[in-house]
Structure 1
């Protein structure tokens, strides 16, 4: 110790107080306080409320399309694509259902206007995406398509 009686007594008192406080917190948290287990029903309703506030974008999935592409060589080239359209509004999918044949025609026209080499590049895919989005929005005379995603895009 320090050799001073008063200082030694203060150090012992503080150490004792700290030990008692630590034991008290331990006893309270492990013996006295019992936390209520969450009920499944409460957690389920809480999750539904939390996810109800989130706004997930709605998508419109087109069927897989396989197209022959015009090539400068005699070699046959084709595009195998699966397109997902992200819509501004969930109700717009009904509008796109009415124009489904025209939408497939737009995809075919836009793909035919781009060379296979360009379609295989990143810039070509971005051009393809922007032209499809623009033409579909022009077709329905309303901004319906927000983004275009490919779940499959193969040029061979």
Structure 2
């Protein structure tokens, strides 16, 4: 059985303006991974969007990777009136058959843990760390170098 986790890896590429992100996610049953090129500002936008969502949990935060290539979408929404949230992650590999792939999963969390994810992403956007781990209970840490799987 897998554990519920979100891992964000940064693969330096034309920094400080552009980078390659690798997102690895598991809901305990399913897991997926996607890599895509994006601006470093994307990491800051993700952080700001998650923190702003927590200011108004009746809202919805949606991030979609743009451009060509593999696709990543993250949606954060309230799942009930007691502060529980659903972080939906949709990943699609840009590959021709028979190598295509996709994964859609949801991590269930609470507002406090989403705030912690936003704060960690804000710190991650400073480009001092290459890997961020976040658990739906709010625990997590950042690493200066990629961790072995």
* TM-score (structure 2 length as normaliser): 0.26
Larger radius of gyration: 1
Structure with more of its chain in helix, by fraction: 1
* TM-score (structure 1 length as normaliser): 0.26
